[in-house]
Amino acid sequence: MPDTENENIGHSSHILNTSSNLLGLCFIVLTSLHVLHLAQASIIDEFTAVAIILLMASSLLSFLALRSKTKRGLFYEKIADGFFLCGLISVFITTMLIAFGVIR
């Protein structure tokens, strides 16, 4: 029978690492849009802002899962996993919008 505490640490650390990296990428995209004055003319900044919120929640929850010594850590990890998946989908949509040059 696998040790649930070690399994919890393994998944949460991957979620934390990946979501924090994607969070940095989203901040670069959002900053670039504002510096180039394209934020008002596109929907890309809205999707990027949503991705930032979801990935930040995922990072915080995966950190809490790593620090938790109880079964609550598994609960935090499951929620962090859901936020991460939604954030990843939002990053994908943002990438497609940028790639195809979708502007209102």
Would you say 80 and 14 are in contact if contact means Cβ atoms under 8 Å apart? no
In 3D space, the residue among 98, 83, 75, 74 whose CA is nearest the CA of residue 52 turns out to be 83
Model confidence at 80, in pLDDT bands (50, 70, 90)?
very high
Over residues 29-48, the pLDDT tens digits come to 888 888 888 766 678 888 88
Instruction: Give the integer Cα–Cα distance in Å for 75 and 87.
Output: 18
Residue 56 carries which DSSP code?
Answer: H
Total number of domains in the chain:
1
Radius of gyration for the alpha carbons in the chain, expressed in angstroms and rounded = 16
How confident is the model at residue 95, as a pLDDT?
87
Range of the domain at 22: 4-100
How confident is the model at residue 103, as a pLDDT?
57
Would you say 22 and 51 are in contact if contact means Cβ atoms under 8 Å apart? yes
Would you say 18 and 84 are in contact if contact means Cβ atoms under 8 Å apart? yes
- pTM equals 0.81
